[in-house]
Amino acid sequence: MNIALQLAELNSSVVKINSCAFSDPSSFKLKIEINNLFRLIKSPVNTFLEDNLIPVPDQIGNIFSLNDLTLGYYDGYLYAGATPIFLAPTAAEVLQ
């Protein structure tokens, strides 16, 4: 199994400038510039991510098989999930 990633949206909602010794920059203008940069690099980043898949094992030893892998980002946290399926030993393996 391989995981393919895609950048859907990257946005800066708040930019705070604590201090600047050489000018008085506008935090609103800086936020707009950062968001425009994110829009420009979205396509090249997605191309890079599409070309570099992440391999994930579909089995843990001979004990579990992994199905239904999910990965998501919701309200500031990353969610990763999988359904483990127990692989019962065969009768021959039990009798050994």
Mean pLDDT of 36-43: 93
Total-model pTM: 0.58
Residue of 90 and 50 predicted with greater confidence: 50
pLDDT, tens digit (0-9, with 9 covering 90-100), for 48-84? 999 999 888 888 888 889 888 888 888 888 888 889 9
Q: How confident is the model at residue 91 (pLDDT cuts 50, 70, 90)?
A: confident
| Domain boundaries defined on the chain | 1-56, 57-96
Burial profile 6-40: b = 16 or more Cβ within 10 angstroms, e = fewer? eeeeeeeeebeeeeeeeeeeeeeeebeeeeeeeee
**What mean pLDDT value characterizes the chain?**
86
